[in-house]
Amino acid sequence: MSGFALTNAQVLGNDDFHRGNAVLVEQGVVAAVVPEASLPAGVPRHDLGGGWLLPGFIDVQVNGGGGALLNNTPDVDALRAMMRGHRRFGTTGMLPTLISDDAAVMAAAIAAVRQAIAEGVPGILGIHLEGPYIAPARKGTHDAGKFRVPGPDEVAMATSLDNGTTLITLAPECVPVETIRAMVANGAIVCAGHTAGDYRQTRAGLDAGITGFTHLYNAMTPLQGREPGVVGAALEDPHSWCGVIVDGVHVHPASLRVALAAKPRGKVLLVTDAMPMVGADDPSFALYGEVITAVDGVVRNAAGALAGSALDMATAVRNTVGLLGLPLAEAARMASTYPAQFLGMEDRYGHIAAGYQADFVLLDEALQVQATWIAGQRE
């Protein structure tokens, strides 16, 4: 028999965790979730020691990991290293993220992702192009010398990935609404981020097809009494998703709790914005020719701007429980179910249920990762 069953775990269902259920896996897919007593005879069983079994985490913003940065080495080897680095922390699906760069580097990164998906590199779901269509006033660690407004040829190139999902972060005040509409028409998911836009400009972007906000609160105009800004537009809009970096550094926990209170449930998702040191021994990396080092887990460039993070998804989940006071079940959904919905992949990922890909993460009582599975393959 080719299948197997995962037993003796607290399995996250659609509502909460359940004891006494077994997850039956066949050919990389969940065949059924059944009472352990109902398992057919002869099915190999893997005892999970009473741990928490969650859907595998999906991270839609991963600049680097395992010592690799996509901008520096936009190739399949870098993508494999990034997945290896993050998988040990429960990430079973990701959008490798390219920070603002030249068109040739963008094309190379897209080609690498296309090749990785074609070769079946586990966990690569698409690409996130974070810039270069963003605002100099909110550039963060991005190189403003790379910024530009895309013409039709560049829009075609940026949306050319034909076997995975493309996410584009842009500043709505810097890109014509017709261009945003063209990106969406070509199949891209578009987010607002690194933007100095006002409320009106952000609303125009939402009306043109923007459906998300990249690292809410960071690198965008704040909510104020007489000018709601990008943050106000994000919190008010009931349809869009907001990625948040829950590392205790990027955003104050109180601000995150405000976002959770304002947005409909399911519209706030965890991201890491991770850099190469996640899953690697070296705390330093080079970006745009500058060496950047994480100090006490905080990543800043020489100018003092936050330069991504050293966060992993398992820590983000623990922080969501510990800093924000959410139940583990909801924190897990913010790391798996809601990202899958945002990406339009909710029929394949984000649940432990019949018909879903067998992507799981096993946590112990301390919420540390003990094992992961991608398409039923354990690591």
CATH number for the segment(s) 56-342? 3.20.20.140
Residue 251 has a pLDDT of 98
- Give how far Cα 46 sits from Cα of 50, 114, 192, Å: 11, 34, 44
pLDDT, tens digit, 9 for 90 and up, residues 258-275:
999 999 999 999 999 999
Is residue 217 within 8 A of residue 239, CB to CB? The reply is no
Residue 40 has a pLDDT of 87
Superfamily of domain 4-54+354-378: Urease, subunit C, domain 1 (2.30.40.10)
- Could you tell me where the DSSP H helices lie in the chain? 76-87, 103-118, 152-158, 177-185, 199-208, 229-236, 253-262, 313-322, 328-335, 337-342
pLDDT, tens digit, 9 for 90 and up, residues 139-159:
999 999 999 999 999 999 999
pLDDT, tens digit, 9 for 90 and up, residues 301-349:
988 889 999 999 999 999 999 999 999 999 999 999 999 999 999 999 9
pLDDT, tens digit, 9 for 90 and up, residues 157-211:
999 999 999 999 999 999 999 999 999 999 999 999 999 999 999 999 999 999 9
Rounded distance between C-alpha atoms, residue 79 and residue 75, angstroms: 7
Angle between helices 177-185 and 199-208 (to 10 degrees): 30
Domain range annotation of the chain: 4-54+354-378, 56-342
Which token pair is 128? 């996130």
pLDDT at 2 over 80: no
Residue 307 has a pLDDT of 92
Which token pair is 375? 């398409």
Angle between helices 229-236 and 199-208 (to 10 degrees): 50
Ramachandran bin of 208, using left for φ above 0, alpha for ψ from -120 to 50, beta for the remaining angles: alpha
| Average pLDDT of the chain to the nearest whole number | 97
Highest mean pLDDT among 1-10, 242-251, 293-302: 242-251
Work out the number of other CB atoms within 10 angstroms of the CB of residue 204.
17
Q: Any bridge partners for residue 126, and if so which? A: 165
- The candidate with the shortest Cα–Cα distance to 276, out of 68, 80, 87, is 68
Q: Any bridge partners for residue 46, and if so which? A: 6
Query: What is the value of pTM for the model shown?
Result: 0.98
Q: Which of 237, 273, 312, 359 is catalytic?
A: 273
pLDDT at 3 over 60: yes
Clarify whether 247 is annotated catalytic.
no
Q: Which residue has the tokens 């959410």?
A: 326
pLDDT, tens digit, 9 for 90 and up, residues 64-112:
999 999 999 999 999 999 999 999 999 999 999 999 999 999 999 999 9
